[in-house]
Amino acid sequence: MNTASFSSWKGKIVDNRKGKAAKSVDIKFPAQLGVDNVSAVMGWNGLVVMDPDADIISLTMNYLKEARKLSCGECSVCRIGIDRLLDIFGKMSEGDGNKKDLFEVQQIIRGVSVNSKCNFGRSVLFPVLDAIKYYRSDFLALIKGERKLETKEYSYAVTAPCMEACPASLDIPGYIELIRNSRFEESLNLIREKCILPGVVGRVCPHPCEDACVRQDIDGPLSIRLLKRAVADYDLQEGGSPLTGTMEEKEEKVAIIGSGPAGLAAAYNLRLMGYKVTIFETLPRAGGMATVGIPDYRLPKDILNHEIDLIKRMGVEIKLNNKVEKLNLKELQKKGYKAVFLAVGAHIGTKIGAEGEDKGYEGFVDGVEFLRDMNLGKKVQPQKKVVVVGGGNTALDCARSCVRIGFDNVEIIYRRSRAEMPASDEEIEEAEKEGVKFNYLMTPVKILEKDGKVTGVECIKMRLGELDESGRRRPIPVKGSEFTMDTVMVIPAIGQRPDLPAMTGKDKVEVTDWGTIKADLVSYKTNIEGVFAGGDCVTGPAILIDALDMGNKVARSIDCYLRGEDLKREISFEGVNTREQREQGFIAEKVAEKVDLLDVDKRSEGFTEVESGYDVSEAMREAQRCLRCYRLMVCEQAG
Ligand SMILES: Cc1cc2nc3c(=O)[nH]c(=O)nc-3n(C[C@H](O)[C@H](O)[C@H](O)COP(=O)(O)OP(=O)(O)OC[C@H]3O[C@@H](n4cnc5c(N)ncnc54)[C@H](O)[C@@H]3O)c2cc1C
C-alpha cells in the first residue's frame, strides 16, 4: 500500500491534499515500472500522484505523446482527438490558452471515448479527464501564464490484459493488428521477438491470454493461439523465412544443457547477441518435451523440426546423444565456456504410491517414458486394456496415444473429480469422443501381477475434503472401499521431477524439497557463479511458453553477467488483468471463426493432426474481432 497525495485509480478517488489523515492507495506502480522513485503516474485506470509537487500538466502532455504513438489511425477518431488535445495543451503552454479550452478538452475526450472503435481509443483518455478535473487550478494557472512547464524524466510501459496474462508478455494486439492488415511476415517477426517456436506454441499453448481476453464476456475470446499458428503456417507454406537479426560476433562461449524450449529460446537470443552457443542434449532428437512428450496428433514433428532447424541455421550447435552426466565447471571453463545454462526439464515420473510400483513388472510403464519411447519411434504392442493414472497433460497424451496405437480399452483413473482435472476441457472432451473412459475419485493402491506381468490394479475410492494448498479440494480415501480393475498395462502419469546431472563439491547446485533447482526468479542465477537455470527444472512441470519466456530472460541475464552489467528489472503490471473498463461502449457481437477437427472415426487410424488451422482469410476475419485493449502508463520520476 502506498500513501499517495491523490489517486483516481479504478475510479476510486483518494485525495490526501487537504491535510486530512492520509488514506492509503492499493497500488504498487513504482516497483512495477522498475523505477524506485516515482512522483506521479498516469495510466489506463487513472492518475496517481505521490509527490504533491509533481508536474501534472507535463505528465499529461507526455502521456498524450505516447498515446499518439499507440493510436493506429484506423478509425482515426483517437488520433485526430489526441492531435487536437496536444494542440490545445501546446497553445496553453505558450500562453495562448483560454479558459474555454478546458471545456473543449472534455468534449474531445468524451467524443473519442464514445466513437473510437477499439478499446484503446475508448479508454486511453480517461486519466486526462481526471487530470483536468482534479488539477484544474494547475491548468488555469498555465492559461494565465502563472505557471511554466517543468522538464522531468518519464518512463513508459504498454500492456494489455492478454499480454499481461501471457507468461512471455507477447505483443498480442500488435501481431493481431498486423494479421488484420494482411502483414503476416511482420506479424511473425513480432511474435518471434518473444516466442521462437510460433508454430509449436500456436498448436499446443493452453492460451492463458484467451482467458484474459476482454471479448470473453461478450461473445467468447479471440482465438489468439490459432492466429499465432496461422502466421507460422503461412510462413511455412511460403517456404519458411529464416531468422534474422544483427549478430556482432563475440568471443565468449555459452554452454546450454538441454534442448527443450527453455534451452532453445536462450540459445537463439544469445546467438542474436553474437555469443557462441553449444547445446548438449541427452536424446537423439532436440526439442525436449515438445519432441518426446507431446504426441504428433497435437504437434506434428515437421513443424517443430522446422523451427529448431531455423535456430540451428543461426549457428547454434546442438550436440545430440550428449548427456552431461556430471556438472564439471572446471572442464567446461577449460573448453572456453564462460556461462552455463541448466535447462534439463523434468523427466522423471512421480511415484503414485502404490504397492509394487518399483518391482519392474512387465506392463507397468511410466507415462513420460512411454511417450518418449513412442515419440522416438519404438513400436508399442497394442493390448486389450490399459489403465492410465492421472489427470494432466501427460495422462491425457498417454491415453489418447493408446487409442491411436490400437488398444481395445483405454481407461483413465483420477483421484479427484473432473472439475479439478488439470487437463483442459477441450482435451478431456476430445479424449471422451475418442472412447477414453474416465473414472473419477479413485486412486491405485496396489499393482497386481502374475509371473512378473501386470494383471490388474487395486484401487480405493476417494471423496473430496477441504481445499488444499493447490486451491483444489483434497482427495481423501474412503476406508474399506478397495476394489480391483483388471488390466494388462498400467501407465502412471501424475507428474515429473528433474533428473539433474550429478554434482559434487563446489559444483553442487542448490535444489528445493521438490528436487527442482533453486534459482533467482529475476536473474535465473543459481548459487554457483556463472551457472543459470530455467524452465521446468526450476518451476517443475509447467507449460511451453513459460519455458520459452525463461529462456529469453536467461539469455539477457547471461549477457549482463558476461558484460559485467546489472540486470534491469522487467516491467510488469499488477491488476491490469482485470477485464474492467470504465466504459465499454457498443461492441458488435461476432463469434470466433471455427476450425475443423479430424473425424473421430479416423483418429484411431494413426497420429494425424486433429486440429486444422485458419487459412489466411479466416485468420484476417478472426483478427477483426480484436478490441485492441492496449493500456499505457507514463510515470514521472522524482528528482
Ligand atoms: C506429455 C506432455 C505434454 C505436454 N503438453 C503440453 C502442451 O500441450 N502445452 C504446453 O504448453 N506444454 C505442454 N507440456 C509442457 C512442456 O512440454 C514443458 O513445460 C516444456 O517442454 C519445458 O521446457 P524445458 O526446456 O524446461 O524442458 P524440456 O522440454 O523437458 O527439455 C529438457 C531437455 O533437457 C535434456 N536433458 C535433461 N538432462 C540432460 C543432461 N544431463 N544432459 C543433456 N541434456 C539433458 C532432455 O533430454 C530434454 O531434451 C507437456 C509436457 C508433457 C510431459
* pLDDT tens-digit readout, 216-268: 888 999 999 999 999 999 999 999 999 987 678 999 999 999 999 999 999 99
Percent of the chain with pLDDT over 70: 93
Q: How far is the CA of 518 from the centre of ligand 1 (A)?
A: 18
Strand partners, 504: none
Q: How far is the CA of 108 from the centre of ligand 1 (A)?
A: 52
Show Cβ contacts of residue 255 under 8 Å, excluding neighbours closer than 6 positions. 278, 280, 332, 337, 339, 340, 341
Phi, psi of 484 (to 5 degrees): -115, 140
Task: State which CATH number among 3.40.50.12780, 1.10.1060.10, 1.10.645.10, 3.40.50.1980 fits the domain covering 162-241+581-623.
Answer: 1.10.1060.10
585 has a pLDDT exceeding 80: no
Q: What does the pLDDT read at residue 32?
A: 45
- Please give the distance of CA 406 from its chain centroid, rounded to a whole number: 35
Q: Where in the chain is the domain with CATH 1.10.1060.10?
A: 162-241+581-623
Q: How far apart are CA 27 and CA 35, in angstroms?
A: 14
Dihedral sign from CA coordinates of 61, 63, 66, 67: negative
Question: Which ligand 1 atom is the nearest neighbour of the CA of 550?
Answer: 26
* Domain 253-347+498-563: assigned CATH number: 3.50.50.60
- The DSSP H or E segment spanning 619 is helix 616-623
Question: Which ligand 1 atom is the nearest neighbour of the CA of 293?
Answer: 1
Q: How far is the CA of 294 from the centre of ligand 1 (A)?
A: 9
Nearest Cα to 216, choosing from 632, 630, 627? 627
- Model confidence pLDDT, tens digit, residues 176-228: 999 999 999 999 999 999 999 999 999 999 999 999 999 988 899 999 999 99
- The model's confidence at residue 507, banded by pLDDT at 50, 70 and 90, is confident
Helix 126-134 with 99-115: angle, nearest 10 deg:
160
Q: Where in the chain is the domain with CATH 1.20.1440.230?
A: 6-159
Give pTM, 2 decimals: 0.92
Q: How far is the CA of 2 from the centre of ligand 1 (A)?
A: 41
- The model's confidence at residue 324, banded by pLDDT at 50, 70 and 90, is very high
Question: Which ligand 1 atom is the nearest neighbour of the CA of 371?
Answer: 1
Q: How far apart are CA 301 and CA 608, in angstroms?
A: 11
Q: Is 343 in the pocket of ligand 1 (CB under 6 A)?
A: yes
> Do 459 and 413 form a contact (C-beta atoms < 8 A)?
yes
Which whole-number Å values give the CA distances from 252 to 48, 255, 271, in the listed order?
45, 10, 11
- Model confidence pLDDT, tens digit, residues 366-411: 999 999 999 999 999 999 999 999 999 899 999 999 999 999 999 9
Q: Is 367 in the pocket of ligand 1 (CB under 6 A)?
A: no
Question: What architecture (CATH level 2) is domain 350-495?
Answer: 3-Layer(bba) Sandwich (3.50)
Q: Is 281 in the pocket of ligand 1 (CB under 6 A)?
A: yes
Q: How far apart are CA 630 and CA 173, in angstroms?
A: 7
Phi, psi of 568 (to 5 degrees): -80, 145
Q: How far is the CA of 543 from the centre of ligand 1 (A)?
A: 9
Q: How far apart are CA 138 and CA 6, in angstroms?
A: 14
Pocket of ligand 1, candidates 544, 548, 611: which has the most ligand atoms within 8 Å of its Cβ, to mutate? 544
Please determine, looking at this structure, whether the domain spanning 6-159 carries the CATH number 1.20.1440.230: yes
